[in-house]
């Protein structure tokens, strides 16, 4: 064996088993007993054989056993943001169980130059609409199964919650009087880098943006409560870094026209606002009411009223769909209004 090229076939012959048995030891361990798999892997290590070639397998079967994951934000953000990490955990749990690999794809078109990384996956999960639409066009041109999460794209299946209704419910809960002054702290609502919106003419559509869906829910609640929404009181947050958030919020909460209600499109924004109210000795909820969205782990000990969405379950469903375990179809999951001490 030492003088010959070690292949799946030669290893199987040496061990006296079928090539399928050797392949299963690497790719489908649940098909073998623990003792047999350990014996095969040990012998393969001694022979210097590291497993079936993914290139050879893909040429033979047309499959690589790889799921592509495209994230709207950069990788550093997604590994530190509590919502994104919970979503990734849901995906990873299912892929680990099935021994399927995940390839994380870049969110900017420049990263695809001189590579063909988008041709590798068998299917794709896209979490949030990429800022660069060229990336989506590149992915869809592969004509492979694709599921979007937290946005809609063409006729592709999507996994979402009813963001508009959830935000309508929580805003109705927070607004007590038509005289309430309301500040909406949203995530990117338009393509500009402005903090406050100048007008409502250039917003992302509801299909493109979860933030737009949430904004529509807030608007409807404000109208139904008889309150007034001033366009200058709709802010879009581009940077979720805590210190930057708190600096911005100090200005908002010390202005002469300080808000009575903060409608925050994420718990990270709401929790930063809550810290600022403590620094300024503002009583919550007596002087100001604050609500968030997501129900991340830090929300409960802070007493934050928020919307609980099944973040991990989204990831699990996306993984099941990408692996072909459930049909490719649009799914809308339930949310829950969690009433705590900030309202």
Q: Which residue has the tokens 């919970």?
A: 86
Is a pLDDT exceeding 60 seen at residue 58?
Answer: no
Query: Do the Cβ atoms of 261 and 229 come closer than 8 Å?
Result: no
The CATH number assigned to the domain holding 129 equals 3.40.50.2300
Q: Are residue 221 and residue 95 in the same domain, yes or no? A: no
In a domain, 25, yes or no: yes
Has residue 194 been placed in a domain? yes
Using an 8 Å Cβ cutoff, are 131 and 154 in contact?
no
Q: Among 146, 161, 176, give the residue marking a domain's end.
A: 161
Q: Please check whether residue 315 lies inside any domain of the structure.
A: no
Last residue of a domain, one of 124, 140, 161: 161
d(CA 291, CA 170): 7
Q: How confident is the model at residue 27 (pLDDT cuts 50, 70, 90)?
A: confident
Instruction: Tell me the per-residue pLDDT of 43-56, one tens digit each, with 9 for 90 and over.
Output: 888 888 877 766 55
Q: Is 181 exposed, middle or buried, given 0-12, 13-18 or 19+ CB atoms closer than 10 A? A: middle
Cross-strand partners of 158: 148
148 and 228 part of one domain: no
Examine the domain organization and report whether 193 and 301 are in the same domain: yes
Of the pLDDT bands very low, low, confident and very high (cuts 50, 70, 90), residue 192 is confident
- My answer on whether 168 and 267 are in the same domain is yes
Number of domain units in the chain: 3
Q: Is residue 83 in a domain?
A: yes
Kindly state the percentage of the chain with pLDDT values over 70: 94
| 115 and 218 share one domain | no
**pLDDT band at 4; cut points 50, 70, 90:** low
pLDDT for 329 beyond 70: yes
Q: Are residues 32 and 85 in the same domain?
A: no
One domain, residues 109 and 73: yes
Beta strand 146-149 with 158-161 is parallel
pLDDT at residue 99, as a whole number: 87
**Which residue range(s) make up the domain with 127?**
66-161
């Amino acid at each position: 064996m030492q003088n010959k090229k070690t292949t799946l076939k030669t290893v199987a012959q040496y061990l006296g088993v079928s090539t399928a048995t050797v392949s299963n030891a690497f790719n489908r361990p649940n098909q073998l007993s623990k003792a047999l798999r350990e014996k095969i892997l040990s012998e393969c290590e001694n022979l210097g054989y590291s497993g079936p070639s993914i290139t050879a397998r893909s040429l033979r079967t047309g499959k690589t056993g790889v799921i592509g994951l495209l994230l709207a934000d950069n990788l550093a953000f997604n590994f530190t943001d509590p919502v994104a990490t919970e979503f990734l955990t849901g995906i990873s749990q299912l892929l680990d169980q099935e021994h399927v690999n995940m390839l994380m794809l870049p969110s900017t078109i420049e990263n695809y130059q001189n590579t063909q990384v988008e041709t590798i996956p068998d299917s794709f999960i896209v979490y949030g609409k990429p800022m660069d639409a060229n990336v989506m066009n590149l992915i869809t041109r592969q004509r492979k199964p694709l599921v979007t999460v937290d946005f809609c794209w063409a006729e592709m299946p999507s996994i979402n919650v009813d963001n508009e209704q959830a935000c309508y419910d929580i805003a109705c809960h927070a607004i007590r009087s038509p005289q309430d002054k309301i500040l909406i702290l949203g995530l990117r609502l338009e393509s500009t880098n402005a903090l406050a919106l100048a007008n409502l003419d250039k917003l992302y559509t509801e299909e493109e943006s979860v933030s737009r869906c949430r904004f529509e829910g807030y608007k409807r609640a404000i109208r139904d409560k008889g309150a007034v929404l001033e366009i200058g009181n709709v802010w879009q947050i581009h940077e979720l870094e805590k210190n930057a958030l708190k600096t911005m919020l100090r200005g908002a909460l010390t202005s002469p026209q300080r808000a009575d209600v903060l409608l925050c499109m994420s718990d990270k924004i709401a929790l930063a606002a809550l810290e600022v109210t403590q620094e300024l000795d503002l009583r919550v909820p007596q002087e100001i009411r604050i609500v968030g969205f997501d129900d991340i782990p830090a929300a409960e000990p802070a007493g934050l009223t928020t919307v609980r969405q099944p973040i991990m379950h989204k990831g699990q469903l996306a993984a099941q769909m990408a692996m072909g375990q459930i049909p490719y179809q649009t799914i809308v999951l339930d949310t829950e209004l969690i009433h705590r001490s900030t309202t």
